[in-house]
Amino acid sequence: MGLHLSRQKNEGVIRDSFDSTFLSHSSPQTGVWSISATFGGIGGSFGTYGKSPGDFYSRDPDMYQHLDGAVVNFGISILAEPNEYDFENIYKLADFIRYPSGATTYLHYKTAQVSGPYGTLTVSRVQSATTNTGYQIKFSYASSDPYNAAWGTRVSATAVNMAVEYCDPSADSCSLQSWPTTTYSQVPYGSGGVTRSASRPDGTVANMTWVNANGIGDFILSDTADPSSGRRYAYTSIWQCENPNQDPSSFCSMGSNSRVSLFTDGGRSTSYTYSLVSGDIRQISAATSGIGTTIYNSDGAGALGVRAARNELSHTSSFNYDNNGKLVRAQWPEGNYTEYVRDAYGRVTQEIVHSKGNASTISTSRTFGACAWGVLTCNKPTSETDANGRTTDYRYNARGQMTAEIQPPDTNGVRPLRRWEYEDRYAYVKAANGSFVPASSPVSVPVREIICRSTFNGNMLAPACGSTSDEVVTVYGYGGQGSKNPLLVKSLQVTADGKSLLTCYSYDSFGNRVSETSPRAGLATCP
């Protein structure tokens, strides 16, 4: 229920788990609009319920719901700098993402207007990320001048428990006590290169080194937390085209070293070569020292995935996709293959395995409920049937949380049952005046889990044990409402046959579990 910050390199750019951009891009010369969005690792194609399938669906221009139920709101609009082609770029920044449980992450930005060669543009940076579960990651930067490139260069990220200390999420900085902090630094490397380091709270350091200037060229990863982690990537320039049907001199460029040409890990290296047609990658060859070459083929433009892979022994695997890039068939060198039957939303409703040289098949299937805006169970199966025809049924609440798992009948014809119950709880945080206040919205957490040992009432709409004496009940205990960290599990009490065992947990101010008692009978409450 906390926050996690991670960073990775993607096509020459360092991104982290709080990078979020919604780009609406139009070109007067082509009349083409394109839309893409990412947030915290969630991304995908777009569609509209009942019309076209996709991973995200829109209710309005700003709010998108993922098939898994997460809702991303891109509520901050920024008009980017006009350019020499008169493209209009409108960036929308995500200000929150809400998960089905109600857990919500908010992003707080600082924006500034600066003048560019073609007009005024807006620059932005993330000041902090907060959650309604009571945590914050506070960022600090190298400069307060938006005309300075260092205005967007982070120098630290500090994790704060907002139940312990207040920090204005929109401020440039806060006067804080000692909290876990990752610091970022940059030093020259060789002739024109640079090393960017992230020093973690535990003392380990992750290094990202560009051998050449401006972050271009060979890229080296190392991490003191993993002495064997030294990896090196070399990059090559390839043609990249915004529109292959237009004049290449206007719409194509050599890119910015965005394709890996050589990967070295320890004593083994893999070199990559690319074959392109009109700017589209049609083939990638990966030659690994001591092993051989694997060739990946694609159809180019519009081909959403690798179509074939041939290894060093000339064994070929092939893959087929539907028009939305979803895998529908995978065939292996021995001749065996698997088919994936999908519905209009891309959900796998049947998986059929065909054996080599055998007409028989092994089939499993799933059923799903309806998809609509606000329905948080779209991507969750209501039943699964295995190859032996044995069916497991699932039930969910309105938040998409599983409330019952009804397994296939056992040898006595009884369907084993497991149920869950939930309740809404609020985190409590420090306000600016020092008072203790509830978070802006609640989070749904599990409070009871019931296992039926040998009976089932047979009611598929309201499944339960045949009698309460058959129940094994686990009760999740939390801190009292108004206490610090009331969303952390403080106790687990397991009751069966009239006897209870209680396990107690305690946490430090960072939310880390620091103690756990052994299950004991006769313990009424936790200390």
**What is the model's pLDDT at position 57?**
67
Considering its fold, how many domains does the chain have in total? 1
Q: Would 55 be classed as within a structural domain?
A: no
Instruction: Report pLDDT digits (tens) over 301-322.
Output: 444 567 888 888 889 999 988 8
Q: Would 441 be classed as within a structural domain?
A: yes
Does pLDDT of 411 surpass 60?
A: yes
List, as one string, the DSSP characters of 399-412. TS-EEEEEPPP-TT
Q: Would 421 be classed as within a structural domain?
A: yes
**What is the model's pLDDT at position 80?**
57
The arithmetic mean of pLDDT across residues 316-341, rounded, is 90
Segments forming the whole domain that contains residue 443: 412-521
**What is the model's pLDDT at position 338?**
96
Say what percent of the chain tops pLDDT 90: 41
**What is the model's pLDDT at position 206?**
84
Beta bridge partners of 23: 36, 91
Say what percent of the chain tops pLDDT 70: 77
The arithmetic mean of pLDDT across residues 204-220, rounded, is 71
The arithmetic mean of pLDDT across residues 96-123, rounded, is 86
d(CA 171, CA 300): 47
Q: Would 514 be classed as within a structural domain?
A: yes
Q: Would 455 be classed as within a structural domain?
A: yes
Does pLDDT of 239 surpass 50?
A: no
Q: Would 487 be classed as within a structural domain?
A: yes
Quote the mean pLDDT of the chain.
80
**What is the model's pLDDT at position 452?**
97
Of the two residues 514 and 67, the one the predictor is more confident about is 514
Instruction: Report pLDDT digits (tens) over 126-171.
Output: 999 999 999 999 999 999 999 998 898 889 999 999 999 999 999 9
Query: Residues near 520 by Cβ (< 8 Å), separated by ≥ 6?
Result: 501, 502, 503
The HSE-up count of residue 109 (CA atoms within 13 Å, CB side) is 20
Instruction: Report pLDDT digits (tens) over 429-486.
Output: 999 999 999 999 999 999 999 999 999 999 999 999 999 999 999 999 998 877 888 8
**What is the model's pLDDT at position 123?**
82
Instruction: Report pLDDT digits (tens) over 29-88.
Output: 333 333 444 444 444 444 433 333 456 666 666 788 888 888 888 888 776 555 444 444
**What is the model's pLDDT at position 503?**
93
Nearest CA to 104 among 476, 477, 399, 395?
399
Q: Would 11 be classed as within a structural domain?
A: no
Q: Would 445 be classed as within a structural domain?
A: yes
Q: Where are the beta strands (DSSP E) in 104-243?
A: 104-116, 119-131, 135-141, 154-161, 181-189, 193-199, 205-210, 219-223, 226-236, 240-241
State if pTM tops 0.85.
no
